[in-house]
């Protein structure tokens, strides 16, 4: 069992970037377009916007300090909360798919984003790491694969590659497969227009 870890420190910068990106419309409207306005609506809107922006900024920093995770031999343990700590346990046996996404932000800092998807319903159905190092993701995937023993499919959406990591060597796969149909470019074009 690993000890509790905080998420990657670049998660703060990533969330601040998302906050700035999502509030750019309000900044342009309230501080550029309505810069000369003396309306009480605009004045109060600016104050409310600055308060919300400040509270969200403080929330981002507090979340980084209070949200932690750890892995044991069979599951993820996710901890969050400031005053009362909520623990969520996701067993490795429930993980069906691993999605990686590497945006421009991730490429600049040589990190990635990953989501371990489960078959459980609800909003907490996936274990998401918005910013995590490549080495840490590979270590997690290796631990999940060794604990489960089944084949785990990794989809790397930044390169559109599908990789398969399994305990079974690819050389041991039965090569006597029968291929019934291989689509040509013409078949794909026809299918896309039907």
pTM of the model: 0.68
List, in sequence order, every residue forming a beta bridge with 76; answer none if it has no partner: 71, 90
Q: Looking at the predicted structure, is the pLDDT value of residue 190 above 80?
A: yes
Examine the pLDDT at 162 and tell me if it is beyond 70: no
Identify the CATH class of 81-162.
mainly beta
Query: Dihedral sign, CA of 79, 91, 11, 18?
Result: negative
pLDDT of residue 1: 59
Given this model, what pLDDT does residue 113 score? 92
Give the pLDDT of residue 166. Answer: 42
**pLDDT tens digits, residue range 13-55?**
999 999 999 999 999 999 999 888 888 999 999 999 999 999 9
The mean pLDDT of 166-190, rounded to a whole number, is 67
The Cα 118–Cα 97 span in angstroms is 7
- Report the mean per-residue pLDDT for the chain: 82
Angle at 92 between CA 100 and CA 14, to 5 degrees: 35
Closest CA to 2 of 75, 108, 109, 93: 75
Domain extents in the chain: 5-66, 81-162
DSSP 9: T
Residue 189 — pLDDT band, cuts 50, 70, 90? confident
55-105 pLDDT per residue, tens: 999 999 999 999 999 988 888 888 888 778 888 888 888 888 888 999 998
Partners of 77 in beta bridges:
70, 89
Token output for 173: 């796969």
Contacts of 133 (CB under 8 A, 6+ apart): 8, 110, 111, 112
At 176, the pLDDT band (50, 70, 90 cuts) reads low
């Amino acid at each position: 069992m690993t000890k509790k870890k905080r998420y990657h420190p670049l998660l703060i910068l990533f969330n601040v970037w998302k906050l700035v990106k999502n509030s750019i419309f309000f900044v342009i409207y309230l501080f550029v377009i309505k810069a000369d306005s003396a309306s009480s609506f605009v004045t109060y809107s600016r104050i409310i916007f600055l308060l919300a922006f400040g509270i969200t900024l403080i929330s981002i920093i507090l979340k980084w300090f209070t949200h932690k995770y750890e892995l044991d031999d069979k599951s993820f343990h996710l901890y969050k909360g400031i005053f009362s700590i909520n623990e969520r346990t996701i067993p490795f046996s429930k993980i069906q798919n691993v999605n990686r996404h590497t945006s421009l932000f991730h490429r600049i800092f040589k990190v990635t984003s990953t989501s371990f998807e489960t078959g459980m319903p609800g909003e907490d159905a996936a274990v998401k790491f918005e910013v995590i190092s490549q080495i840490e993701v590979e270590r997690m995937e290796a631990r999940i694969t060794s604990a489960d023993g089944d084949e785990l499919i990794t989809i790397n959406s930044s390169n559109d590659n599908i990789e398969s990591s399994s305990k079974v060597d690819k050389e041991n796969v039965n090569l006597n497969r029968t291929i019934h149909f291989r689509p040509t470019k013409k078949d794909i074009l026809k299918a896309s227009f039907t």
